[in-house]
Structure 1
Amino acid sequence: MAKVREVEYLSIGGGMGSFCWVDTLRIHGVSFKDICVISPNKKPYRQLKLYCDAIGLTKNQRLRSDSGSRPDNFWGFPGYGLSEALDELKNKKFTKAAKLLLQLFFEPFIFGYYSPAAGRVYKALEREAKRIDWEKSLIIGHANNLTKFPDGRFKITYSRDNSIIARVVHLSLGHGKLRKIKSQKSKVKNAYELDNEFLNKIKRKGGTVMVIGRGTAAQKIVERLLDFKKIKVASLHREVESPKDFRGVKQKRFLSWRLQQFNWPRAAFGGGLMHESDSLWSLPSATPDKNWIRKVKNAIKDGRYEITKRPIKANFTIDCSGFGEAARTHEFYSKLIKKYNLPLTPNGSIRTGDAFEIEALCSYKTRVFISGALSGFSGPADSFFGAQFASFKTLENLNVKKMDFIESFEAWCRWLTNKKI
């Protein structure tokens, strides 16, 4: 019989949400011995990197995030942009450093918005993971089930018959199942499952490729396909060229692509839009990338790109419609909802309180929190800054000593000099 371990804090998922939560606890003085993380991955950014690699977003390309949204930096300063500028100065690349500083101080009026390169984000997360002893808290495995004991504690089973007991549980298991269309598997792929074999087949055979969706994944896939020869690309957009969408919200557009730099305004993290995000939830949009727009315009002139309202006959189809947004599409969450009859939001996410706690599972001394995709209190929680925001809010419900200004400054200095906690 496997030994049952007991800890105070347990995070299930092991991705960006888990990392930000554990980082917040460690910075506030919690020992790695009191924390466990159940994850199928050794690195906290592995799933993010897999998705980026699948759609062709390399480590040198820029993510859809801003300078101050740093999951590796609790304080957000210096941001990615300032760090990059300082690195350029160290390398004596003064022109690049000056350009970056101008961009940061005058964005978006000069050189547009700043976004960090994927590789810079991975490297920074690697550094912080070592600093907080991430791997010492890590258990490699898949969580299967959560059971609440009469005394309020929680038992989590994982990887066959293993189990662990915790008083505080944090859930951040990512998205639900990928949306899939029924068709010939050899000719249809989801964007996040793309591999070189499928792309090489497109290159070799040529023809028409239909891309379903209009988010950032679809944007990257279209850009990638337009670099291939003998290929015509068709984007399937059900709604074409309208100044307003079905919510009555006006957006900047290019053809039928909705254009906006970020998914959510900052006010959605704690300002006037914090409780109004349901009406803005999860409508896909692309970034206003001038190079991409130029490439699409040239492809239209050459007859290599079109937008269609209805499915067309295509040699290959790439589905960029993303993941199921309802929590019931996730196996772990689905069992939890059914077992404890958890209330859901109108969009199908698990309903939480203001501190991201699942109130139906909490008791006097125990807590269950949920953040990231499928957490219902705040749509922007599924973002870098959102994961940090959710982690900070959970502290309001925990018996963890809060830092005063001096303690926070000292902790920031330790982060800046990369001193272990």
Structure 2
Amino acid sequence: MSVAQSNTPAQQGDLNDQLIASDWWSDQMVQAAGIPIVDVPFVTIGGGIGSFVTVDYLRIAGVPTDQIRVLSNIDHPWQTYEYLTRVSQIPRPERIRSDSASRPDNIWGFPSYAIEEAWREKKLKTAIQVFLEPIWRDYYTPKAGVVFGHLEREAKRIRYWDMLVKGQVRMIRRRQGGGYFTILTPPEGAATTKRIAFRSQYVHVAIGYPGLKYLPDLQDFRTKMQDFHHVVSAYEDHEHVYNQLRTRPGTVLIRGGGIVASRVLQRLMDDRAKHNTNVQIVHLFRTFISGSHGKNAWNRRKGGNGFAYQGFNYPKSVWGGQLKSKMRRLEGDERAVAYDEMGGTNTPWRRNWQADMKKGRDEGWYRLMQGTAESMSVAPDGRIVTTVKTQQGPFDVAADFVIDCTGLEADIAEHRVLKDLLDHSGAGRNPKGRLDVERTFELRGTANAPGVIYASGSPTLGGYFPGVDTFLGLQVAAQEIADDLAKRGFCKKIGPARSVSQWLKWAKNKQI
């Protein structure tokens, strides 16, 4: 039987062969499959901070809650981000890597986190810090718990949970006649049908990172040995490592040189000082930075002892300065080259942290290595042996635990929804292999008049705006999307008068 003849679903309310194979769906095709249709003008997929910030802009722009639905498998917007920060050693009392004015709960960025913290804790030095950074003081960054608390406050104010629909998004397909169908699989027992189709004019894709990708030797070892206890990723829960090292001496091999590696290193050093542990740390860098580096003399990045130092993910001008303007003008390979020049793993420079690392190097319990791990095996004593290729030849490193902090991202096609967009909805890739978006964050190639698909966050890295996977980057994307939707008549434009009136409501915590 051909696909075109396969109109009878195996299970009522589920996808059938015809729907799965078709790039364009009619209302009749969905109805014939027994899938209930819910009409709503705007749907955002993901439910994380990217979805939240976009919805926040739309609610401030006057869109009522019944015109928006958030399709998500998480309970609150900061849930995934809080998990990742916690396991990568940034619990609620610690500070995240974000600018003082980058407030996902406050589209105006005023008052900044620093000013609010100074007022709340009656510490003038906190406010002064932002005026002296980064020359005389380290960059100010907010505490994770404060960020999450403010997100919860704003979510309640805009009635976020009135718009949330729990479930797992399966696919997005273009609708014959305009707009889109977004297929949601509701939680087991939550509905009488296996799928629900949301029929909308606008779709926003904000699913975050498509997934983790391990280096080949790590993947091979974990698959072969099924050892997820001694060889761990910093992006998964690995508290048992620190707990065990408190009870007996041990050696840890850290792999990677970014912000997460620096946080794991900080945790090990803090535990050594607080609990008098006898931990030995070996730090392996694939690329070892010994000093200032970069293509041009005027934009060289500081570095030393393996690390490349930079206050934030990108130079601050990408969010509103000369680099932002430059990137909006670049196309194709020129844009890819610009990303390569700006990119690379980096971490902030912190005075206290530098002192701790120097002490470790001087006392011999913190050792640095440059090389590439080629294989891993288990020694007779149960320790993990990593064979490292160095300039001097192969070298074996034995450790009780290996913590991988490389943070490699999986290809976007490994995420089911993104793969389906590439295969069936006309989406393409940008020069860096991610989703190709316009300057308005419209997903290029997917337009279905009068409908539009937008995308923001990490899957769009490589587009006209570099800082997409940051708080401020998500806000920039949300503002572009809201402005584009205002031009299409979906919402009001946030002009000066509306902005002032809405800020006053925000300050008073008045529900909208």
Question: Fold conserved (TM > 0.5)?
Answer: yes
Tell me: CA distance 1:294–1:243, structure 2 relative to 1, closer, same or farther (3 Å): closer
Tell me: CA distance 1:257–1:187, structure 2 relative to 1, closer, same or farther (3 Å): same
| Pairing partner for 1:387 from 474, 477, 488 | 474
- What is aligned with 1:172? 206
- What is aligned with 1:115? 141
- What is aligned with 1:158? 184
The 8 Å contact of residues 39 and 139 in structure 1, kept in 2 or not, is answered as yes
Paired with 1:250 and 1:149, the residues of 2 have a C-alpha distance of: 49
Letter in 2 for 1:219: S
SS at structure 1 position matched to 2:201: strand
Paired with 2:432 and 2:142, the residues of 1 have a C-alpha distance of: 31
Is 2:51 the counterpart of 1:18?
yes
- What is aligned with 1:332? 417
Q: How does 1:49-128 map to 2 (within 5 A)?
A: 49-88=82-121, 93=122, 96=123, 98-128=124-154
- What is aligned with 1:419? 510
Letter in 2 for 1:272: Q
Q: How does 1:36-51 map to 2 (within 5 A)?
A: 36-51=69-84
The 8 Å contact of residues 172 and 370 in structure 1, kept in 2 or not, is answered as yes
Paired with 1:139 and 1:27, the residues of 2 have a C-alpha distance of: 21
SS at structure 2 position matched to 1:72: coil
Is 2:318 the counterpart of 1:259?
no
Letter in 2 for 1:288: W
Paired with 2:478 and 2:421, the residues of 1 have a C-alpha distance of: 21
Paired with 1:110 and 1:222, the residues of 2 have a C-alpha distance of: 25
Identity over aligned pairs, percent: 30
| Pairing partner for 1:233 from 281, 303, 325 | 281
Paired with 2:67 and 2:321, the residues of 1 have a C-alpha distance of: 34
Is 2:365 the counterpart of 1:286?
no
Where has structure 1 moved over 6 Å in runs of 4 or more?
none
Is 2:60 the counterpart of 1:34?
no
Q: How does 1:118-157 map to 2 (within 5 A)?
A: 118-157=144-183
State the 1:162 CA deviation: 2.4
Letter in 1 for 2:70: V
Aligned pair count? 414
Where structure 2 has 5 or more consecutive residues not aligned to the other structure, the ranges are 1-12, 14-34, 186-193, 222-226, 328-334, 372-387, 389-396
Q: How big is the alpha-carbon RMSD for the aligned residues of Structure 1 and Structure 2?
A: 1.9
The 8 Å contact of residues 176 and 323 in structure 1, kept in 2 or not, is answered as no
The superposition leaves residues 273-311 of structure 1 with CA deviations (integer Å, 9 ceiling, x where unpaired) of 131552346421111111111111111122111111233
Is 2:232 the counterpart of 1:189?
yes
The 8 Å contact of residues 291 and 304 in structure 2, kept in 1 or not, is answered as no
Range with greater deviation from structure 2 (49-58 or 18-27): 49-58
The superposition leaves residues 360-390 of structure 1 with CA deviations (integer Å, 9 ceiling, x where unpaired) of 1113311111111111422301000000000
State the 1:394 CA deviation: 0.9
State the 1:255 CA deviation: 0.7
The 8 Å contact of residues 174 and 448 in structure 2, kept in 1 or not, is answered as no
Letter in 1 for 2:129: Q
Tell me: CA distance 1:278–1:38, structure 2 relative to 1, closer, same or farther (3 Å): same
Letter in 1 for 2:58: L
Paired with 1:38 and 1:396, the residues of 2 have a C-alpha distance of: 22
State the 1:325 CA deviation: 5.5
TM-score of the superposition, structure 2-length normalised? 0.77
| Pairing partner for 2:501 from 365, 389, 410 | 410
Paired with 1:109 and 1:281, the residues of 2 have a C-alpha distance of: 21
SS at structure 1 position matched to 2:213: coil
The 8 Å contact of residues 292 and 303 in structure 2, kept in 1 or not, is answered as no
Where structure 1 has 5 or more consecutive residues not aligned to the other structure, the ranges are none
Tell me: CA distance 1:247–1:344, structure 2 relative to 1, closer, same or farther (3 Å): farther
Range with greater deviation from structure 2 (260-269 or 39-48): 260-269
The superposition leaves residues 218-259 of structure 1 with CA deviations (integer Å, 9 ceiling, x where unpaired) of 100011122241221111111223446586662211311011
Letter in 2 for 1:414: K
The superposition leaves residues 64-123 of structure 1 with CA deviations (integer Å, 9 ceiling, x where unpaired) of 1111100000111111111111212xxxx3xx2x11121123322443221111111011
The 8 Å contact of residues 61 and 118 in structure 1, kept in 2 or not, is answered as yes
Paired with 1:132 and 1:196, the residues of 2 have a C-alpha distance of: 36
The 8 Å contact of residues 11 and 169 in structure 1, kept in 2 or not, is answered as yes
Range with greater deviation from structure 2 (309-318 or 383-392): 309-318
State the 1:60 CA deviation: 1.6
**Bigger Rg, structure 1 or 2:** 2
The 8 Å contact of residues 174 and 425 in structure 2, kept in 1 or not, is answered as no
The 8 Å contact of residues 325 and 347 in structure 1, kept in 2 or not, is answered as no
| Pairing partner for 1:371 from 456, 467, 479 | 456
The 8 Å contact of residues 325 and 349 in structure 1, kept in 2 or not, is answered as no
- What is aligned with 2:436? 351
The 8 Å contact of residues 36 and 195 in structure 2, kept in 1 or not, is answered as no
State the 1:174 CA deviation: 0.7
State the 1:404 CA deviation: 2.7
TM-score of the superposition, structure 1-length normalised? 0.93
Letter in 1 for 2:66: K
Letter in 1 for 2:318: A
Is 2:401 the counterpart of 1:316?
yes
Letter in 1 for 2:175: F
Range with greater deviation from structure 2 (338-347 or 249-258): 338-347
The 8 Å contact of residues 442 and 455 in structure 2, kept in 1 or not, is answered as yes
